[in-house]
Structure 1
């Protein structure tokens, strides 16, 4: 890989934002709680299946709906964040997330799962997840430190899973799944409180994307950029792979004779390994071309998935697989967000990142739902594992060949030259 020097530009003014350190701490806390809750939802499948008769495909569909709602809402919430700043959007979405988990606990197998865990939680996660907090962090630091700062926040954002997953499993075993879901709702409500400290509306961006007169023009410029399209398509594989593992790994381990405790520990291992991987990837992203790092992540994931299902599944192989996948889990996020910010600037960052992330969530919808369907139809998850390997290889090819040059559309170039 060749050394990569980010294009110099100026970050948005942070005159109305807290210090970069405070922004990063608050962003990390919000992201950690949000993703820790979401990544532990797969632990509810077995107890809900036993008590309510919820099938794997019905549970997978609810979390697939969550991913699809998250993806569809992300660009819209991103536009609100670009316009009004992260604080009000995060506060509202934190309480929507809590309301969704509360409905999941009390609303029954249809409304509770599909509307609560699916739609409401999906909108809440769209606001409290990566888009807005990473936009706030990107605006708070100089351009040459963006990828590293986003990598550090993504790393911190993985730590809560290490605690939430085992605690959730313990509550389920001692008090039942409803008590665990109510606890999740209480934790989600704290996100809205923590978000009060992230700051208000940022001052207008001063980098080159400020010449884009409105969101429609910015989106048009992005979708005409072949590299943006390739990166967006490749991000589908990320969502497909990770959401299948999050939702169906505990059940798959049960089929293979591995205890549910190991499944909960594996999710925690993914969380801590992800913290290391996200931080290291953020550091590497300041030195090497992000497109090559992204391609290698997709390739290594595919190799790990193939090896895991090829050899006999045991507690050791499960934890080893969790550690490897954790290192590769969300390292894509600082690389993708840094590439969007470098090529298109920050004025419409939340919106453009939301479009890329929509592809990720469509992949997550497919991974969660089709994983459950394949199990219900065949009694095995093998079709889903093979599919994950194939889409991973496709993402590797797309990402490695991506055109990542900064090539503004003619309208932007003319504006920079001062012509009409």
Structure 2
């Protein structure tokens, strides 16, 4: 179990750490290439949508052949996508490499795949805790990698910094060897008691699954809007670049504690994870309202990002553990992929609308207000989720 947690956590640390710093490239790339903020935002939005779409099919593949080969392919794609992001001469090529290729790479190197391994390898009594630990590792990646990426940009320029990150992404290939699953080493997947078709029908006709999808959409909208547009938002108010770098690093630092606590709460109260989820979404809206009402200073930014960081990815272990609790682990990567697709649609909207509404209005006000309203919506839709495990009839087996 220790090896799975360690290697899985390090994979998520790298994969999530790299992508959380993409907001630092918005101004250098758009200013150097003469592109609009919407052009950059659209590419990152496509990346999130690509991540979600590919995540569904990557999850199916990982459930069938195991995570090892998926991680190898994802690592190589990540490196190629970062190289393309550094060398793209046009917005179209930038959207294809930064958007489609890196999005596909993230699908094969992040939560859906790693949580599938955890679900199959770690007992249910420790599953929510283990998912919280892994999510905390992703948060540490943000805390560690965002300042590193800012330093790389300052020291080597934005293009060379991306090439260095491409080399770092290949480390995932090595870590994948620690996530080889015994049941898949013979080249065939373990025997399934449920077909993919039945698993999908079962999930999509379950109201709780749909409600979790709706909540996760909001999560994606909020975190990607803040993660990508916060540096530019602060720059517009005359703040130095280091304020945004420190703020995003604080998000990662405090999310280490937030995700770990969320995983523990999910383990301690297995039938009440929905209340924790509802509280997380509601608190995000409250914190955002307070941030917009008080005067904007460096300390208000740091307090806001620290508070938001505590809630940042806390939804991840709770949502995935709830899915595993309701539907079991046979198709966990696939079902997690579908839920994450909803998250990524929200991410697409948060990133793209941030750029679009900024170019239209000259500020981010409308997106902040929308984020607050969506947080209230997510707090409400998580309350009716039923966390009881499904009891299947023998005739449903395949």
Q: Same fold (TM over 0.5)?
A: yes
Contact 1:93 1:128 (8 Å CA) reproduced: yes
Q: Separation in 2 of the partners of 1:115 and 1:364?
A: 17
Q: CA deviation at 1:311?
A: 1.6
Matched residue SS, 1:346: coil
| Number of positions where the alignment pairs a residue of Structure 1 with one of Structure 2 | 392
1:171 alignment counterpart: 152
In the TM superposition, what whole-angstrom CA distance separates every residue of 1:154-190 from its partner, at most 9, and x where no partner exists?
Answer: 1122112222211221222232110111111111121
Q: Could you tell me how far 1:196 is from its partner in structure 2?
A: 2.2
Deviation string 1:174-211 (CA, Å, 9 cap, x unpaired) is: 321101111111111211222122114636679xxx53
Query: What is the CA–CA distance in structure 1 between the aligned matches of 2:277 and 2:243, rounded to whole Å?
Result: 29
For residues 379-394 of structure 1, the aligned pairs below 5 Å read 379-394=362-377
Unaligned runs of 5+ in 1: 1-19
Q: Which of the residues 99, 123, 126 maps onto 2:104? A: 123
Out of 104, 112, 123, which is 1:142 matched to? 123
- Counterpart CA distance in 2 for 1:31 and 1:202 is 22
Does the CA contact (< 8 Å) of 1:239 and 1:364 recur in 2? yes
Instruction: Say whether residues 1:274 and 2:255 are aligned partners.
Output: yes
Contact in 1 for aligned 2:243/2:298 (Cα 8 Å): yes
TM alignment of 1:303-342, pairs within 5 A? 303-342=286-325
The correspondence of residues 3-402 of structure 1 with structure 2, limited to 5 A, is: 20-200=1-181, 202=183, 210-212=192-194, 214-288=195-269, 289-402=272-385
* 1:43 positional shift: 0.2
- Give the TM-score of the pair, scaled to structure 2: 0.95
Q: CA deviation at 1:267?
A: 1.1
SS at match of 1:286: helix
Q: Name which of structure 1's ranges 132-141 and 22-31 shifts more when overlaid on structure 2.
A: 132-141
Once residues 202 and 67 of structure 1 are traced to their aligned partners in structure 2, the CA distance between those partners, rounded to angstroms, is 31
TM-score, normalised via structure 1 length: 0.90
Aligned 8 A contact 1:84 1:200 in 2: no
CA distance in 2, matches of 1:359, 1:399: 15
Displacement of 1:259 in angstroms is: 1.2
Per the alignment, do residues 217 and 374 of structure 1 end up closer, same or farther by CA in structure 2, a change over 3 Å counting?
A: same
| Alpha-carbon RMSD | 1.6
Native 8 Å contact 1:105 1:182 kept in 2? yes
Cα shift at 1:249:
0.4
Cα 1:38–1:147 change in 2 (3 A) is: same
The gaps in structure 2 that reach 5 residues or longer are none
- Judging changes above 3 Å, is the alpha-carbon distance between structure 1 residues 41 and 112 closer, same or farther for their aligned structure 2 residues? farther
In 1: Cα distance, 2:90 partner to 2:247 partner:
26
